Amino acid sequence: MLEIFSKSLKHRLALPLPGREAQLKMAHAERRLNLSRYKIPAEARPGSVLILLFEDEGTIKLPLIMRSDYDGVHSGQIGLPGGKFESEDADLQSTALRETEEEIGISKSDVSLIGRLTELYIPPSNFLVHPFVGTIPFKPEFVPDQNEVARIIELDLDTLMDENNISEKDIKLSTGITIRTPVFHFNNDTVWGATAMMLSEFKSVLFELGI
């Protein structure tokens, strides 16, 4: 199932992407209305994340991580495995693979990259994030990094595609400001912000494929 699906997905990802329009479906109103404030600065820090697809009993899933509490803007948030580009990384896809191995214990040699989504600038942390999509040919045994990952969430594509799992919620930022923003509700977990925006574009791609 995953092998056939990944071929279709790889072909679609090689075509023009849904891009910003799809991302902004899950952005809060202030960001949608003030795009000029979010021009990418020259000093933006490069990073990448990985949407890692695997099959589990006939269902295709991907892992999300709940980040551990720390002194930073993304403390305790749910995101995709990934992080900042380091000097030893050959390129940004190497960053995604390295960070995935470090954070959830998936060997980079087991992952086949099949494409990428549209990059997304994150103003609070000044990161320009490049999302990659990959597959692994077996159900992985996740080993979360005890310092960085509080919990791993296995999200199936049916749950991602269910429009009933989208609503709006008041979120209190690390700055103390509260914003009202679109969110995904996956069981008892809330996904918002940059991760929700990247998943929104991925969801648009999947919709085109009839998922």
pLDDT, one tens digit per residue, over 136-156 is 999 999 999 999 999 999 999
169: in domain? no
- pLDDT at residue 75, as a whole number: 62
* pLDDT at residue 180 greater than cutoff 90: yes
185: in domain? no
Read off the CATH number of the domain in which 115 is found. 3.90.79.10
**CA 161 remoteness from chain centre:** 15
Rounded Cα gap, residues 182 and 162, in angstroms: 14
> pTM, whole model, 2 decimals?
0.94
171: in domain? no
Structure tokens at 110: 């087991």
Q: How many CB atoms lie within 10 A of CB 22?
A: 21
153: in domain? yes
127: in domain? yes
Per the structure, the complete domain to which residue 155 belongs is given by 2-162+191-208
151: in domain? yes
* pLDDT at residue 168 greater than cutoff 80: yes
Q: How many domains does the chain have?
A: 1
Question: Which residues in 57-99 belong to E strands, given as ranges?
Answer: 59-67, 78-79, 82-84
